[in-house]
Amino acid sequence: MGISAGWVWLLLPVCQALVVPREVSGRVRETLSIRCWYPRGYEGYNKYWCRGASRDSCHKVVETKGRGVPWQHGRISVQDNHVFCVVLLIIKDISEADAGSYWCGIERIGRDLMEPVTVRVVPG
C-alpha cells in the first residue's frame, strides 16, 4: 500500500513560513528551549531572537550572524540547524524577569520575517 501524492506534504518538514509556538512556559531555575522553523532558502541568512512588546520595539538578545554554529551570550544561546531549517533559542536558569514577548526573526532586505512567542515563567 503506497502513500497517495495528496498526503505527501504531511511528511515534509515545516519550512514554508516562520513557525513558532504561540506560548511556552518553564519553571524558575530550569532551562527553556524555543524552536523557530524557517523557510528553505534562508539557511545563510542572519537569524535572531529579540525581546519586546512589538516587532518595532524589540531589541536583539542573540543572533546567528548567518552561521550554523552555536553562539552564546551569558545564559542565552542560539543554534541554527540548516538541515532542518530551525533556530533554537536556549535560556538557562530562567527567572521571572525572563517572562515576556520574544520574536524569532530573519534579517532580509525590506521587512524582516518575524513571529512572536510569549514566554511565561512559573515560580519554582
Q: Among 115, 124, 123, which Cα is nearest to 39's? A: 115
Instruction: For residue 92, give the C-alpha cell.
Output: 538557562
Query: What is the per-residue pLDDT for 121?
Result: 97
Query: What is the per-residue pLDDT for 66?
Result: 74
The Cα–Cα gap between 60 and 93 comes to: 19
Q: Output the tens digit of pLDDT for each of the chain's 124 residues.
A: 444 444 433 444 444 479 999 999 999 999 999 999 999 999 999 999 999 999 999 999 999 987 777 888 899 999 999 999 999 999 999 999 999 999 999 999 999 999 999 999 999 7
- Domains located in the chain, CATH noted: 23-122 (2.60.40.10)
Burial-class residue 123 by CB neighbours within 10 Å (0-12, 13-18, 19+).
Answer: exposed
**Which CA distances in Å does 21 have to 2, 33, 73, 104?**
32, 11, 23, 11
Strand ranges (E), the chain: 23-27, 32-37, 47-51, 59-63, 71-73, 76-81, 86-91, 100-106, 113-122
Query: What is the per-residue pLDDT for 8?
Result: 38
Query: What is the per-residue pLDDT for 14?
Result: 43
- Specify the pTM: 0.82
Instruction: For residue 2, give the C-alpha cell.
Output: 503506497
Q: What are residue 98's phi and psi, to 5 degrees?
A: -80, -10
